[in-house]
Chain A
Amino acid sequence: MSDQPTGTPTFADVNRDVLRTLEPPGHRYFAWMSVVALILAGGILFWTGQVWWGIGMAGKRVPQMWALYITTFVFWIGIGHAGTLISAVLYLFRARWRTSIYRAAEAMTIFAVLTAGLFPLIHAGRMWFAYFLLPYPNQRYLWPNFRSPLVWDVFAISTYLSISTVFFIVGLVPDIAALRDASTGWRRRIYALLALGWEGSDNQWRHYRRAYGLFAALATPLVLSVHSVVSWDFAMALVPGWHSTLFAPFFVDGAIFSGFAMVAVLVLPMRHFFGLHAYIRDKHLDAMSKLILVTSLVLTYFYLSEIFTALYSGDHFEKASLFWKVTRTYAWALWLMYFCNCIAPLIFFVKKARTHPVVIYVVSILVLIGMWFERFNIIVPSLAHGFYPYTWGIFVPSPTDTGIVIGSFAWFFLLFLGFIKLMPSLSIVEVKETLPPPMRDTRHGAHH
């Protein structure tokens, strides 16, 4: 198959094609926006009700003091990881195929973290006191407990959000300068402000390139730490099914896995609607599919290790928890997760499937479902069958928590839809970098 454009685009083509995505949107765009905004409004309404009447509006109980909110929190944090991975890790590895998707992926990261960041607030019984978790001097002389994984979360996630945002904005600056120079009127004035007076001079590029590399170098350990810290929310606890040293790498891998699926879910329609086939090519799809496949295999390995550990340890509580999860009330969720995360991606062993947009799309959706359920399976069934048989119990979602979780998806997509119309969702500069630089004397050739 060939969606390869006949001619390689020139620098000017890149500007034109990318700027075209920012043209005033049509009715369809606004229709989508309205739908998303409506769902979000519903979510906000449910949240208001929950704040008013209490967290009991959500389906939580003893023993599931945590349920859908933390599930979705971990899910969104995980989604964010692929963005940083693409923009930082692949940058360090000089994987040039990243360039056409990294901007969208990075935006996805920020929006995912922004979405995830809401959940600890939504989850807290007294969200109006959530600021107690921040270390700031106060007249009570009180400080947070730095031994608590939740405080680690606060630090990890706020650092992650800050660094990702800085990284994202820094990457945007030259592109906004290009926007500035291509636009007129009020847009121009806004872009001029955001571009910080970027001109592309050699001195600017010099520090920019160095700084960019350093950001990538900082973001790489950060991204690994963030999901490790999130995993320690569970691993540091005593609950059977949580208390495991396996969790950090397991979570990081799962995060990348789900993140790539989300990238595919976002990028494939963008490519379709904006006609970006020249930039997001089959080789990009192929690379993404391969990454999904690899992370899926690694994840399968972790699943097996988890089961093996529970069985081999001989620990009564772990075994009981495992057998319960596999066979009882929530078994369907577990088996669904195994199917989505371990079986479905295996189709990418077929070369054709790796570049087939529909196949990728379907598998990615399955992976997202599977990964949401992975977190669900870690949280809800593990808590359902803990140490103390007296309190074993079944969690039933309520309209409130379901509504808020759905609303969080709307919030994410609302941000993303807004982004693609306001900012270049393809990096103008980096796409140009991958093109052969214009040469009058073709003997020099494109040697990179």
Chain B
Amino acid sequence: MGAKAGVGALGVVLLAVLIFVAVSSWSRQPAVARPSVQPIDFPHVVHVQTYKIDCQYCHSDARRSEYAGLPSVERCMGCHKITGAQLPEIKKLAEYFARKEPIPWVRVNKLPEFTYFPHKAHVRASVKCQTCHGEVEKMTTFAAAPGPRLANDLLNLAGFRPAPPPLTMGWCVDCHREQNAREDKKAPLDCVACHH
């Protein structure tokens, strides 16, 4: 009878370990992001991969402002007056321009109001855009799954330690700490640097 109990206990322990391993490896997977639905079906992949356009060509405010900025409709038209002018999506663009109307892009990346994030300082520190925004160059339609998730918190609570999802505080802090340790950079870790 004792032996039986021992085998049972061992089984339970093994099962627990198995579950732990399974859950923690699952929890370290980046979440699958749903592509956003945009007024114009803009493919980053074409612009970045095919035409090798630099991110900051369009998002030109990133190096000098808190915001990365969106290209003005005029800038889009600069190329698309000729390039692909006959494509249906480009026609939509031309219509916006003709109406002198801004394109109502749908916001994908969003930080809470109480968080101050300057693109400028990160560009100055030569942080790659992809570090935060994912492999944009491979995206047909821009997609991201940033922000805290309940599942993540619950896993933390249960003692697992999943990688924090992108654009959450833990994720920012990880990177700042890494930078400071590795390259003797001065990425601020002061609370009020971002929260003021």
Q: A residues touching B (Cβ–Cβ < 8 Å)?
A: 136-142
Contacts and interface: CB of A to CB of B under 8 A. Distances in A.
Interface stretch (B52-60, B76-84, B132-140, B159-167): B159-167
Contact of A141 (B157, B159, B165, B173): B173
Nearest to B163: A139
B170 interface: yes
B157 A137 contact: yes
Given A138-B153, A139-B165, A141-B173, 6 more contacts: A138-B156, A139-B152, A139-B156, A139-B171, A140-B170, A141-B169
B179 interface: no
14 contacts: A136-B156, A136-B157, A138-B153, A138-B157, A139-B148, A139-B152, A139-B153, A139-B164, A139-B165, A139-B171, A140-B168, A141-B170, A141-B173, A142-B169
Contacts of B165: 139
A142 to B, nearest CB: 8
Interface of B: 148, 152-153, 156-157, 159, 161, 164-165, 168-171, 173
A17 to B, nearest CB: 45
A139 B162 CA distance: 9
Contacts of B148: 139
Contacts of B153: 138-139
Q: Which 8 A-B pairs have the closest CB atoms?
A: A139-B170, A139-B164, A140-B169, A137-B156, A139-B168, A141-B170, A136-B157, A138-B156
A109 to B, nearest CB: 29
Nearest to A136: B157
Nearest to B169: A140
A215 B69 CA distance: 64
Nearest to A137: B156
Contacts of A141: 169-170, 173
A95 B173 CA distance: 58
A144 to B, nearest CB: 14
Q: Which of A136, A137, A138, A139 has the most CB of B within 10 A?
A: A139
A191 to B, nearest CB: 30
Contacts of A142: 169
B149 to A, nearest CB: 9
Contacts of B157: 136-138
A139 B164 CA distance: 6
Contacts of B156: 136-139
A153 to B, nearest CB: 22
A136 B152 CA distance: 13
A136 B161 CA distance: 12
Contact of A137 (B161, B168, B173): B161
Nearest to B161: A137
Contacts of B152: 139
B158 to A, nearest CB: 9
A30 B164 CA distance: 53
B137 to A, nearest CB: 27
A140 B147 CA distance: 11
Nearest to A138: B156
Contacts of B159: 137
A54 to B, nearest CB: 18
B143 to A, nearest CB: 21
Contacts of A136: 156-157
Contacts of A137: 156-157, 159, 161
